[in-house]
Amino acid sequence: MNKKWMIFLLGAAAVLAAAGLLFWRQSSRLEMDFSYSGEAFGNPLMGYAPSAWHDEVAEDVTLLYMDITWRELEPEEGVFDWAAIEEENQLERWRAEGKHIVLRFLCDLPGEEDHRDIPDWLWEKTGGAGEAYANSYGRGFSPDYSHPEFIACHQRAVKALGERYGGDDFISFIELGSLGHWGEWHIHTSDGLPPMPDQQVRAQYVEHWVAAFPNARILMRRPFAEAQEHGLGLYNDMSGYPEATAQWLDWIYQGGEYDQTGEADALVPMPDAWKTAPVGGEFTSSLPMEQMLDEQLETTIALLRDSHTTFLGPKIADEEYREGYDAVLLNLGYRLWISQADLSPGLLKGVEITLTWQNSGVAPLYADWPVYLQSVDGDGRVLEQAEVTLPLSQLLPGQIIQTSTVLPDTKLRGSHRCAALQLVIVDPMTGLPAVRLANGEAAGEERVMVLWKAL
């Protein structure tokens, strides 16, 4: 070997040594296997979503549920009470803490006393169109959702909501309410109340929300044709109730008649919708927690897994039943982890890192947040960073995906020494590492997966 080649090779070896990566002998490749953790923990955009007005929430909570009645939103025509809504739901606090919101807009929330959940000006403007009720659901007022003025005012209200909150993904999920008791797209017609409007009218309400919130994932109570058309998700407010959930799943697999209007094909099969759009809902109020989280826990888990549920709220599991609480959390949403990493240091281009990704959850992460490989020094300062090419939303349960990323070493010279290589998934809203991988080696608090540490 001539003198020039000897000098070149010694120089290249010195660069790698300075990076802290040349600690193996003859081989130019390092293979590492990692373990899966069965620990239950929360993560962004999944898990439990208690009401946003709670003073304290569990450490695993990253989602908060917020419902707004039209009466609260727009007490006077064209005047929106943002201050009261944001104070009651602590939106500034939750944003600062890096949490996200599930939103539902309501026009009819049954209660214990006679009332209307639409503003008085709207009731007057539509000539009082609708019916007051007092039935097994409670007391309230069911508006005439087909009234042209009601529809036009709804569009303006939703547009205002979008202008206020639709600019980023702080409001990440919208359970498309607006119509029916609790915004659930059904009306207690057996008491003589007018039925839900037909497809042509319902479609207008869907379009209002799709236009106003381009960054949010929108979910519907049933697999309506509009949900399929717009690629929307679904939600089940009877989660944990075997018979009701079986019926809901039958709608998803078979489609069929919408019993509220008698339209034969209003519901369409959407068995694979969960692969691209989320499934949400809340625990039913028709069964006691002891039954769902203790006596019939296996049934509850099976129903959630069959539904590919990502989040539940505002009625969530009772922490008193800790085993059931954790078991449910363990079976919600995504469970991303790294099973293997291969490091191949190159003489010129840096270090090539191949990662094997798996998802042991029941659903994907419905957000293509940026993923970074980083070399850090002993104080945790990032020396080099490279983005991993990985659409997280495409990592479905049971799939294995490999990524290959080159981490440069331009800064790893002299006093800059690599102490570790780490992996982070960053929430664009905060700019901070946010996702905890389901690895035994992952650091929970920092949301960082350390792939390698210098010896």
Q: Are residues 69 and 211 in the same domain?
A: yes
Q: 2 lies in a domain?
A: no
Side chain identity, residue 26: Q
Q: 9 lies in a domain?
A: no
Mean pLDDT of 367-393: 95
The residue whose two tokens read 């373990």 is: 35
Residue 245, helix vs strand vs coil:
helix
Residue 422 to residue 435: CA distance in whole angstroms: 13
Q: Are residues 126 and 213 in the same domain?
A: yes
**Residue 146 buriedness (CB in 10 A; 0-12 / 13-18 / 19+):** middle
Rg value, the chain, Cα = 26
Please state, for a pLDDT cut of 90, what percent of the chain lies above it: 85
CB 102 within 8 Å of CB 173: yes
- Record the tokens describing residue 164, joined without a space: 């206020």
Q: Are residues 24 and 76 in the same domain?
A: no
**pTM exceeds cut of 0.75:** yes
Q: Are residues 182 and 264 in the same domain?
A: yes
Identify the CATH number of the domain in which residue 379 sits. 2.60.40.10
DSSP 32: E
Instruction: Report the range of poorest mean pLDDT among 34-48, 206-220, 430-444.
Output: 430-444
CB 407 within 8 Å of CB 375: yes
CB neighbours of residue 49 within 10 Å: 29
Domain that holds residue 102: 47-330
- Record the tokens describing residue 319, joined without a space: 């922490």
Instruction: Report the range of poorest mean pLDDT among 1-10, 45-54, 156-165, 284-293.
Output: 1-10
pLDDT, the chain, mean: 91
Domain end residue (candidates: 284, 309, 330)? 330
What is the pLDDT at residue 345?
Answer: 78
Residue 246 to residue 241: CA distance in whole angstroms: 8
Residue 311, helix vs strand vs coil:
strand
Per residue in 219-239, pLDDT tens?
Answer: 999 999 999 999 999 999 999
Q: Are residues 369 and 312 in the same domain?
A: no
Residue 345 to residue 130: CA distance in whole angstroms: 71
Q: 1 lies in a domain?
A: no
Per residue in 145-201, pLDDT tens?
Answer: 999 999 999 999 999 999 999 999 999 999 999 999 999 999 999 878 989 999 999
E-strand spans in 49-126? 63-69, 100-106
Please confirm whether the linkage preceding 314 is cis (ω < 30° from 0): yes
**Per-residue CA distances from 116 to 14, 72, 124, 222 (Å):** 76, 11, 12, 25
CB neighbours of residue 381 within 10 Å: 11
What is the pLDDT at residue 285?
Answer: 96
Q: Are residues 271 and 366 in the same domain?
A: no
Residue 275 to residue 181: CA distance in whole angstroms: 29
- Record the tokens describing residue 6, joined without a space: 């000897």
CB 61 within 8 Å of CB 47: yes
Identify the CATH number of the domain in which residue 193 sits. 3.20.20
Q: 7 lies in a domain?
A: no
Please state, for a pLDDT cut of 70, what percent of the chain lies above it: 91
Residue 7 has pLDDT above 60, yes or no: no
Q: Are residues 319 and 388 in the same domain?
A: no
Q: Are residues 270 and 150 in the same domain?
A: yes
Residue 380 to residue 133: CA distance in whole angstroms: 62
The tally of domains found in the chain comes to 2
DSSP 321: S
How far separated are the first and last CA of the chain, in Å rounded?
31
Residue 229, helix vs strand vs coil:
helix
Q: 308 lies in a domain?
A: yes
Query: In 290-327, which positions are buried (b, 16+ CB within 10 angstroms) versus exposed (e)?
Result: eebbeebbeebbebbeebbbbbbbbbbbbeebeebbbb
Domain end residue (candidates: 330, 354, 379)? 330
Side chain identity, residue 124: E
To the nearest 10°, report the CA torsion of 442, 444, 447, 450. -30
382 confidence band (pLDDT: 50, 70, 90): very high
Phi, psi of 23 (to 5 degrees): -115, 0
CB 336 within 8 Å of CB 379: no
Q: 188 lies in a domain?
A: yes
Domain end residue (candidates: 305, 330, 355)? 330
- Cα 347–348–349 angle (5° rounding)? 115
Residue 277 to residue 268: CA distance in whole angstroms: 15
CB neighbours of residue 453 within 10 Å: 12
350 confidence band (pLDDT: 50, 70, 90): confident
Residue 389, helix vs strand vs coil:
coil
Side chain identity, residue 390: L
Q: 6 lies in a domain?
A: no
Q: Are residues 391 and 424 in the same domain?
A: yes
What is the pLDDT at residue 220?
Answer: 98
Per residue in 105-134, pLDDT tens?
Answer: 999 999 999 999 999 999 999 999 999 999
What is the pLDDT at residue 455?
Answer: 57
Residue 155 to residue 165: CA distance in whole angstroms: 15
Q: Are residues 385 and 279 in the same domain?
A: no
Side chain identity, residue 61: V
Q: 53 lies in a domain?
A: yes
**Residue 181 buriedness (CB in 10 A; 0-12 / 13-18 / 19+):** buried
The residue whose two tokens read 């049971």 is: 398
Q: Are residues 244 and 182 in the same domain?
A: yes
Residue 378 to residue 382: CA distance in whole angstroms: 10
Q: Are residues 320 and 340 in the same domain?
A: no
